[in-house]
């Protein structure tokens, strides 16, 4: 079972939702009652982040469990669960399979369709069962264009106390007239990863970093990625929008993210536009409100974060998370950074390899949520 520290969690797509798992404890008398939240670390809470989407092979389910040992708080993936979704109208059942990253994924040729109604069913190794309310798939609203602009002063950096360079990524799309539309944007950023293993004050031997036998060796030793590798980063908070003030409009230059120019290599960003129903939008809005830039130590207490998941055999069990069905449109954008005159403000450290012909120089690019050896579609 892989264990994720809090700093790593913020790099994953479930990062912001997991935040609530760390700070909220609620009494949960039923799956519909709204209750007040209290701050404390909670042990053995289940968190489920599930998506059934209209793009082939993109539906996924992540199951996590909190662990609090009175000193450290962590979140662990829950392995060996039985995960399936069922079409409420036809009875079709789709099994999800656990991959090497601990995520449960759908068959590569599966996608839901607009208007279908689906439910999620999960059974853990310990026999506990969870399911979702029925959710209807919303229509796809396509992204028309994705673009970027570069500025030498894109964003103010509080730590450096100055503006830093970077790219602003935005999209255009046509909102559907005469109906309420709710949007959620997710993205992945792919950056080349050159070093796949670093040993501090040591060298790599026998599947582990070992102390160096040299008294005056380098501060660290690097091992190059083999084969090619890309680091993957995700949004750190929900990005949402509803069309109350722009019904039927052509929406241009909607900012998705600002990407500071912290490294020299080129990058690729893939943006997904999800069409949500109102209740799912409200769920993500609670999260967005709590982790927005305006929230801080003096922010109001979190609102109760009750999604559409429950334990059918134990209504008192509190389950964090949401089963989201959505029409999805995706577009990718390659960003060439080779012509930028400014220096990156967080360049890579110098690469230090072992200085002997027979010494290992590389380390495999291990597939995970945060790195891949598969070249992303659209890479140039």
On whether residue 153 sits in a domain, the answer given is yes
On whether residue 368 sits in a domain, the answer given is no
Rounded distance between C-alpha atoms, residue 29 and residue 18, angstroms: 22
The count of domains in the chain is: 1
Whether 300 shows a pLDDT value over 80: the answer reads no
Rounded distance between C-alpha atoms, residue 239 and residue 13, angstroms: 12
CB hemisphere CA count around 196 (13 angstroms):
20
On whether residue 365 sits in a domain, the answer given is no
For 5-30, the pLDDT digits (tens) are 433 443 344 444 444 444 433 333 33
On whether residue 160 sits in a domain, the answer given is yes
On whether residue 371 sits in a domain, the answer given is no
For 186-228, the pLDDT digits (tens) are 999 999 999 999 999 999 999 999 998 777 788 999 999 999 9
On whether residue 65 sits in a domain, the answer given is yes
Q: What local confidence, expressed as pLDDT, does residue 84 receive? A: 98
On whether residue 216 sits in a domain, the answer given is no
On whether residue 376 sits in a domain, the answer given is no
In this prediction the pTM is 0.84
Closest listed residue to residue 276, CA positions, set 158, 144, 375, 185: 185
**Structural domain span for residue 116:** 3-194+229-348
User: What CA–CA distances, in Å, run from 326 to 29, 136, 194, 297?
Assistant: 29, 8, 36, 34
| Residue 101 confidence class, pLDDT cut points 50, 70, 90 | confident
């Amino acid at each position: 079972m892989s264990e994720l520290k809090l700093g790593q969690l913020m790099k994953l797509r479930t990062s912001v939702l997991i935040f609530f798992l760390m700070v909220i404890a609620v009494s949960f008398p039923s799956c519909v009652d709204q209750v007040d939240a209290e701050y404390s670390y909670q042990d053995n809470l289940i968190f489920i982040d599930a998506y059934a989407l209209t793009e082939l092979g993109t539906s996924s389910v992540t199951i996590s469990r909190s662990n609090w040992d009175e000193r450290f708080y962590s979140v662990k993936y829950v392995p060996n669960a039985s995960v399936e979704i069922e079409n409420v109208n036809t009875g079709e059942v789709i099994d999800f399979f656990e991959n090497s990253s601990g995520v449960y994924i759908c068959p590569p040729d599966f996608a839901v369709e607009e208007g279908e109604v689906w439910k999620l069913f999960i059974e853990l190794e310990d026999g506990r069962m969870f399911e979702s309310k029925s959710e209807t798939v919303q229509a796809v609203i396509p992204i028309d264009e994705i673009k970027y602009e570069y500025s030498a002063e894109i964003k103010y950096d509080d730590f450096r106390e100055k503006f830093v360079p970077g790219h602003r990524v935005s999209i255009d799309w046509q909102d559907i007239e005469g109906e309420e539309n709710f949007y959620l944007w997710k993205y992945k950023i792919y950056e080349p990863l050159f070093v796949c293993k670093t040993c501090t004050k040591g060298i790599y031997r026998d599947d582990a970093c070992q102390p160096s036998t040299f008294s005056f060796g380098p501060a660290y030793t690097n091992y190059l990625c083999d084969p090619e590798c890309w680091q993957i980063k995700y949004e750190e908070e929900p990005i949402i929008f509803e069309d109350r003030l722009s019904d039927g409009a052509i929406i241009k230059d909607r900012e998705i993210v600002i990407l500071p120019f912290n490294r020299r290599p080129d990058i690729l960003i893939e943006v997904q536009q999800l069409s949500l129903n109102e209740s799912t939008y409200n769920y993500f809005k609670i999260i967005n409100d709590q982790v927005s830039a305006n929230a801080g130590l003096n922010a109001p207490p979190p609102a109760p974060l009750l999604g559409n998941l429950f334990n059918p055999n134990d209504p008192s069990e509190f389950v964090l998370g949401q089963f989201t069905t959505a029409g999805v449109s995706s577009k990718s954008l390659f960003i060439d950074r080779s012509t930028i005159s400014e220096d990156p403000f967080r360049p890579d450290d110098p690469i230090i390899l072992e200085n002997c012909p027979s010494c290992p120089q590389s380390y495999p690019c291990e597939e995970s949520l945060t790195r891949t050896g598969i070249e992303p579609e659209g890479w140039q």
